[in-house]
A = this chain, B = another copy of it.
Amino acid sequence: VILTVTPNPALDLTWRVARLTPGATHRVPTGSARAGGKGLNVARVLHGEGHGVLALAAIGGRAGAEFEAELEASGIPHRLMHVEAPTRRSVAVVDEQRGETSVLNELGSPLAVAEVRDLVDTAARLAREAHAVTVSGSLPPGLGEDDFERLMGDLVATGVPVVVDTSGPALLAAARAGAHALKPNLEELEATTGHSDPVEGANALLALGAALVIVSLGAEGLIVAGPHESPVHARLPRVLHGNATGAGDAAVAAIALELAQAGSDTASLSLAGLARRATAWSASAVLMPLAGELSAETGALADEVAVTPIEETP
């Protein structure tokens, strides 16, 4: 089982409109409501591919009730903790003609101190029975850097592989705690480490204590850097058009699966194999209209992915 921790979940509301005209009134089909947040996308991908998963999040209010009902209906195994703060909503308006999405993310309300403690304790307890743990997305109000450091420390102390997809101080805390894999995108990496070169940024996080760093580069694929081998660059040799939302979450799902399957034998883990699977899953997600799903092309895409070692300038 792979445990997916989503510190800052959201109820994702999506409406599709032929063309969004600011200031105008549009008639639209009924929108969709989905349990969201990056960790939920990771859980959906793994569940859809037939792997055992447990989605952990803290929810509250009416949006939380709708979150829970949707998750229940989707069949994804979950552990939801109920908190006072109403779950934030994330509104997406898809302009179908332009193929662009306007997003409104609610800031959310703070978790109480005791709720944060319960969430951290529950994550650590459930991690002990998992084969890998992912922690994805931003931190909610009320869950500070200190709390995140404790979460990282407790998760890494379980010995179970921990994959973290976040940015800023939380990403640095994950590296210092010795997380097994970090998955920033290039923009987040640069904002966090100051390095615009992905290998330099990845090396900075490795130096802090991370075991592996995967930097996603959008259509350019991703790089994987570890302490023992040259970093590798994996990419699909053609550009896919589709929905990039959730592509990074599919990569996290692939990374967690690779680490879970390697078990304690991390030396057997091939950077190239991990890079190939993460790139293929990420590309496959782009072909699907909704985040959290892979297309039937995943296997064929994995065969197409080109993996090349990166020569580091000394």
A interface residues, Cβ below 8 angstroms from B: 15, 17, 20-31, 33, 62, 66, 69, 86, 88-89, 91, 93, 95, 98, 100-109
Contacts and interface: CB of A to CB of B under 8 A. Distances in A.
Sorted from nearest, which 3 A-B pairs have the closest CB atoms? A23-B100, A25-B103, A28-B104
B20 A105 contact: no
Describe A's contact surface by its main secondary structure: strand
A101 B262 CA distance: 53
A109 B69 CA distance: 20
Contact of A98 (B21, B23, B30): B23
Contacts of A30: 86, 88-89, 106-109
A101 B20 contact: no
Contacts of A100: 22-23
B26 A104 contact: yes
Contacts of A31: 89, 91, 104, 106
A141 to B, nearest CB: 11
A102 B17 CA distance: 12
A93 B104 CA distance: 9
Contact of A107 (B22, B29, B103): B29
A103 B15 CA distance: 11
Contacts of A86: 30
Contacts of A107: 27-30
A225 to B, nearest CB: 28
A137 to B, nearest CB: 13
Contacts of A17: 104
Given A25-B103, A28-B105, A91-B93, 12 more contacts: A15-B104, A17-B104, A22-B95, A22-B98, A22-B100, A25-B105, A26-B105, A28-B107, A29-B106, A29-B107, A30-B107, A31-B89
A28 B107 CA distance: 6
B62 A103 contact: no
A100 B15 CA distance: 19
14 contacts: A15-B91, A15-B104, A20-B22, A21-B102, A22-B98, A23-B98, A23-B100, A23-B101, A23-B102, A28-B107, A31-B91, A31-B106, A62-B66, A91-B93
Nearest to A95: B22
A111 B52 CA distance: 41
Contacts of A88: 30
A23 B95 contact: yes
Contact of A26 (B26, B66, B69, B103): B103
A21 B69 CA distance: 32
Nearest to A90: B25
Nearest to A30: B106
